[in-house]
Amino acid sequence: MASKNLVIAALLLLSAGSGTAYIVDGSRVNQPRLLSYAKEALQNQGVLQQNSDGFTYVHVPDQYIQDLLHKVARPGFGIPQFSQNNAISNAYITVMTADETKNIKELREIGQTIHFKPLGFYTVVIHDKEYFMLAVDAPSLSEIREKYGLSAKPENHAFNLTVGVRRLTSENELATPEEVASLHP
């Protein structure tokens, strides 16, 4: 079944044209109305924060992902619950992992407001869960990472925000009819 998902993901990427730079090891999800909503109706900003382990992230109000999740045209996704990163919120953009900050004495940028631009949606499957993600462009985050000797992007992929998560079942692990139809113009 995993190889079938990879084939579908590859076909979706090929059919999407060259504008796929924001894909992060996943399948592009074409929801132009949702993307327009994110760009135009939501406040695309958050505050740079760090937890006691050194994990550094942009705290985005939970309402941001709740607003997006209510408009997602795919059933079964719920609000992500993240406790492993000791994040204050379930809505955040990872900036630096705890391992990356081990040798950084002080991040002077903590508390700054960070603006970002929504790029597009994609899904990532990890074990038995599918994550609905929003890739974002945030040049100021790249600048901060580079200032501290890190690559411009975390793990060399786009910054992102988890919008929703759902458990995969035999009923929902296949491509949606819209995704299949988009393969045949």
Rounded to whole angstroms, what are the CA distances from 62 to 1, 65, 78, 130, 165?
A: 34, 6, 12, 19, 14
Residue 27 lies in a domain: yes
What total number of domains does the chain contain? 1
Residue 177 lies in a domain: no
Residue 92 phi, psi (nearest 5) = -155, 160
Which residues, other chains included, contact 37 with Cβ-Cβ below 8 Å and sequence gap of 6+? 67, 68, 71
Residue 26 lies in a domain: yes
Q: What pLDDT, on the 0 to 100 scale, is given for residue 29? A: 86
Measure the CA–CA gap between 162 and 11, rounded to whole angstroms.
Answer: 23
Give the pLDDT confidence of 117-159 residue by residue, as tens digits: 999 999 998 888 899 999 999 999 999 999 999 999 998 789 9
Residue 9 lies in a domain: no
Please give, one letter per residue, the 3-state secondary structure of 117-160.
EEEEEEEEEECCEEEEEEEEECHHHHHHHHHCCCCCCHHHCCEE
Residue 144 lies in a domain: yes
Residue 44 lies in a domain: yes
Give the pLDDT confidence of 48-87 residue by residue, as tens digits: 999 999 999 999 999 999 999 999 877 888 888 765 445 4
Residue 58 lies in a domain: yes
pTM of the model: 0.76
Residue 184 lies in a domain: no
Domain assignment of residue 149, given as a range: 22-171
Measure the CA–CA gap between 155 and 41, rounded to whole angstroms.
Answer: 30
- 13 pLDDT exceeds 90? no
